Structures are given as structure tokens and as C-alpha cells.
Amino acid sequence: MQLLRGDSPPQLDVVASLYLQLIDNVYTMTVVDSVDFEWDDDNVDHLAHHGISADEVEELFCASILRRRGGTDALDRFRVLGRTAAGRHLAIVYQAKPGGVIRAFTGWEMSIAERMVYERQIKG
């Protein structure tokens, strides 16, 4: 099978489809003032270890994001896919704390499959 530029290998489409089934919701958040972030040395340092700043995490929540459960049984853990103002495609895992507080604690550059899902859903 020959792939054309912009096409994705069939196995990535399968992964993207499975990932899509796990998405909790698609959100467009434009007013970050209603969201508070909890930052301390632990989560700032851990994110920095992955090359992500606290500012980038907050930028993510100012645009369209995809949210899904965070791959754990904890009901307060979520994973979001989104883009920073500079255009980085990031996956961030956070804890939703009482009072609308978000405590981001890890993250990474989106995988190819995550990015495919994000682009499909956001352009929807």
C-alpha cells in the first residue's frame, strides 16, 4: 500500500479510533478566569522535566481541548489534548479538585495518534 502525503498508516487509524471511543468530552474553554490552577514546586518541576511550563498548561485551557478520563480509576483524574499559543500539541494529565481547581501533574508532546484524534475532533 502506498501512502500519499497527509495519509496515515491504517494501524494509526485503528489506534485513533480506539482513542476516540475513550474521549469524555470536547470542550472549548475561552475564559480561563473561571479556572484556578494549583502550582507548587512538585508539579512545576515534574512538568518542566517533560519540557512543559506552567504557562503552557494554562494556555491549553484557553483554547479547544479534548478531555478524557486519565487512564486510572480515580474519578478526579483527566487527560486533555490541546494546543498552546505557540502551537505545541500537548497531552496534560490533571486532577480536578473541589472549587474548579486544576492541578496538572504530568504531560508530554502528543503522539501521532493523539494528534490525529485531536485534529479530527477539533475541526469536527
**CATH code (residue 116):** 3.10.450.530
Beta bridge pairs of residue 36:
101
In a domain, 75, yes or no: yes
Residue 37, judged by CB atoms within 10 A of its CB (0-12, 13-18, 19+), counts as middle
Count of other CB atoms within 10 angstroms of residue 57: 24
- Could you tell me the residue range of the domain that residue 30 belongs to? 26-123
pTM of the model: 0.75
Residues of the chain under the 50 pLDDT cut: 1-9, 11-12, 14-21, 28-32
In a domain, 42, yes or no: yes
pLDDT of residue 28: 47
In a domain, 16, yes or no: no
Q: What's the total number of domains in the chain? A: 1
